[in-house]
Structure 1
Amino acid sequence: MDNQFLSQEEIDALLKGTVGESQESESQGSAEVLTAEEKDALGEVGNISMGSAATSLSQLVGRKVTITSPRVEVSNEKEFFANFLEPYMVIEVEFTEGLTGKNILIIKEHEVGVIANLMMGGDGTQTGEITELEQSAAREAMNQMIASSATALSEIFKRKINISPPKSQMVNSRERDIYEPFGGKEIVVIYFKMQIEDLIDTEIMQIMEPATAKEVAKMLLDKLYGGMEPEPTVEYRESVKESKERVEGKDKHGNEEYLNLPSDEKLELILDIPLKVEVVLGRTRRPIKEILSLGPGAIIDLDRLLDEDVEVLVNGTLVARGEIVVVGENFGVRINQILSPRERLSKI
């Protein structure tokens, strides 16, 4: 009889083994939703598309905005939204052409208030509950950001990408509001670090379904590899790492260099991406009542001297300074100074 029954210790051991195998299986299943190459590709696409979104937001709030350092994770939708301890605003669009699925942008309540305050001529101070007017201002900013992001995707992939009119809402997690746009399934979350000068230093989140994320990643990888899978994986990841180091002004040994971009064919896509170049003659800040009183003949004083160089910005980042010249019937800029990689990084 003793041989026909298991001891309690043996039962416990079997149960632990079963649970361990189940957890390992779930972990492996989650990890296989996106490959390492697909996560890298999503990060690169996010860097470019959110860089465009940052430029749009910067123009709206009149402050320097940077959105960088994408981090890609696969999460359970219910668990992800359950972790929010404060209200947040979501902007949701559906791809109607060029891609399939939804694209969702999430910003927390405090940041929503700061952005709205800046758009309404304030100094970025956010106190108390956000009013309907402030929510409306913030919605417009996020609408512009997600539209700029879609435009950037069109430029990256050289194909038409259209989105539906944005839907927005404030979700109050304190009152247990439920927001599950994907029905509780697994989601891909791309976290970005967003800074607005010394006012905001936070994370914003972009969310999509795994199928949409894979579609975006495949479009980039197909462009890089002509439809072939990257091989080998280690070489690909080292190449991406080395490329980032070189762009930051360092070679693979950690030595500083001016801007020695690698000639690897994998970077040809990046070299073809159009960047927005702006020339800033000067800046100033004025109260709303003064802006509303402007009319023909009004003069606005700027913060730049007559003989001072203008700034040349690429995707919102200062890269050079120069002087205004006339080229035929157009204005142009003669470059007098190129910022070094170290100086450029200090502006990011």
Structure 2
Amino acid sequence: MNLDKLSPDEISGLLGRKKTEGNPMPANSLLPTEREALMELLAVSLGGSSKVLSELLGKGIAISPPVLAVKQREDLLSAGDSPFFVVLGEYTGDVSGIQILSIQKEDVQRLVQSIQPGSDAEDMEKQFQVLQQVVEGMFTSVSKSMAMVLEQDVAYSLSGMDVVDKQQDFPIAKFTSEEWFLEAAFHVKVDNSKPASFELGIPVGLAKQMAGVLIEEPDYAEETQTMEFQTNNQTTTEPKKNESPNIQSVQFSSFDDTSSVQGEPNNLNMLLDIPLQVTVELGRTKRMVKEILNVSHGSIIELDKLAGEPVDILINNKVIAVGEVVVIDENFGVRVTDILSTADRISKLR
């Protein structure tokens, strides 16, 4: 790569540095680190939702990793053919914003045939019913995964759904004033059927908000001030031209006695003895104070997880894996079914 042909702004963008206040980042741009973090976040969230959909629908569901692109509002629904379904959703909580999802009508018909064999794929009511079931199951799970990874309160709700014959019939400007969107294109495959194409659009501002939680960028302004301070100090300590330099003999340390260095314990061995708290979480729920006071012997508290859904395995209150509950002799145990290694990579960016 020839850096001489790159502008200072392009070099700063490649390094993931912040723009100065006098030259802010364009609203339609994402830093490489932001794009990478969002790719990992969506891949983890969508991948985790495939298991929830499989249990919900009783079918084998596979979701492909997303392909990201930044598009203007007018170009957001232009990739597919008409007619198509548009599903509006909303994220609320610490991370909030609109979500626009589109899927071709023929793909919805294929989903109906795959999920409910023998049913009439041309039945519009059936198409709405199946698509609503798929979208709500998928993105309710996605929001939970985002909340876990971002360590923020995130909830998803489906706002509306409609069939659009032409792109011009659905003016996005009536629903949001956002000009630029991050589009994530992915495929949903049911058993051995042909994959259905989904196009997910979220505002670039919302995408940056999510990426900002994951990425802790260095304060380059503070770093520059520190360097300037050091330079000024060096300038004040330079000898004057008319003064004679103070020359002293160099004192070298002796390397003959190495016993103290060899006797130091290995840092890794020290870390291996640190105890960690391992917790298996079956589920959670929220109740009013009056409901808690009414709890008595024999009361049943319903949790937010479905029966048979994988349980979370936490290390020091951080989810690192999921598994299934087993019985070992007379004790409960958990068999690890999936290690969230991708989530670990995301956490390292923080």
Relative to the length of structure 2, the TM-score reads 0.53
Residue of 149, 168, 177 corresponding to 2:160: 168
Q: Distance in 1 between matches of 2:218 and 2:311?
A: 32
Residue of 200, 206, 210 corresponding to 2:200: 206
Identity %: 17
Checking the alignment, whether the CA contact within 8 Å between 2:114 and 2:193 is kept in structure 1 is: no
Could you tell me how far 1:191 is from its partner in structure 2?
Answer: 1.3
Checking the alignment, whether the CA contact within 8 Å between 1:77 and 1:182 is kept in structure 2 is: no
Rg: which structure is higher? 2
Match of 2:209 in 1: 215
Checking the alignment, whether the CA contact within 8 Å between 1:85 and 1:173 is kept in structure 2 is: no
Q: Distance in 2 between matches of 1:197 and 1:206?
A: 22
Structure number with higher helix proportion: 1
Q: Distance in 1 between matches of 2:69 and 2:76?
A: 11
Match of 1:152 in 2: 145
1:1-348 mapped onto 2 (5 Å cutoff): 33-120=29-116, 122=117, 127=121, 129-163=122-156, 165-174=157-166, 176-180=168-172, 181-183=175-177, 185-222=179-216, 227-228=217-218, 326-328=328-330, 330=332
Amino acid at match of 2:100: I
Checking the alignment, whether the CA contact within 8 Å between 1:62 and 1:118 is kept in structure 2 is: no
**Counterparts in 2 of 1:189 and 1:202: CA distance versus 1, 3 Å:** same
Structure 1 unaligned spans of 5+: 1-28, 231-262, 264-273, 278-311, 316-321, 339-348
Deviations 1:212-265, CA, capped at 9 Å, x for gaps: 01111111113xxxx4379xxxxxxxxxxxxxxxxxxxxxxxxxxxxxxxx9xx
Q: Distance in 2 between matches of 1:275 and 1:91?
A: 35
Q: Secondary structure at the match of 1:81?
A: coil
**Counterparts in 2 of 1:184 and 1:215: CA distance versus 1, 3 Å:** closer
Deviations 1:26-74, CA, capped at 9 Å, x for gaps: xxx9796111211111100000111122222222332222212221111
Q: Secondary structure at the match of 1:106?
A: strand
Q: Distance in 2 between matches of 1:145 and 1:220?
A: 22
Checking the alignment, whether the CA contact within 8 Å between 2:82 and 2:104 is kept in structure 1 is: yes
**Counterparts in 2 of 1:157 and 1:82: CA distance versus 1, 3 Å:** closer
Checking the alignment, whether the CA contact within 8 Å between 1:65 and 1:195 is kept in structure 2 is: yes
Q: Which piece of structure 1 moves more, 84-93 or 209-218?
A: 84-93
Could you tell me how far 1:86 is from its partner in structure 2?
Answer: 2.3
Report the aligned-residue RMSD: 4.2
Amino acid at match of 1:141: V
Checking the alignment, whether the CA contact within 8 Å between 1:192 and 1:205 is kept in structure 2 is: yes
Q: Distance in 1 between matches of 2:167 and 2:147?
A: 39
Q: Secondary structure at the match of 2:77?
A: helix
Deviations 1:290-322, CA, capped at 9 Å, x for gaps: xxxxxxxxxxxxxxxxxxxxxx9899xxxxxx9
Q: Distance in 1 between matches of 2:107 and 2:281?
A: 26
Give the aligned length: 224
Q: Distance in 2 between matches of 1:88 and 1:213?
A: 25
**Counterparts in 2 of 1:37 and 1:334: CA distance versus 1, 3 Å:** closer
Structure 2 unaligned spans of 5+: 1-24, 221-267, 269-278, 283-308, 313-323, 339-350
Q: Distance in 2 between matches of 1:100 and 1:112?
A: 28
Amino acid at match of 1:149: V
Amino acid at match of 1:162: A
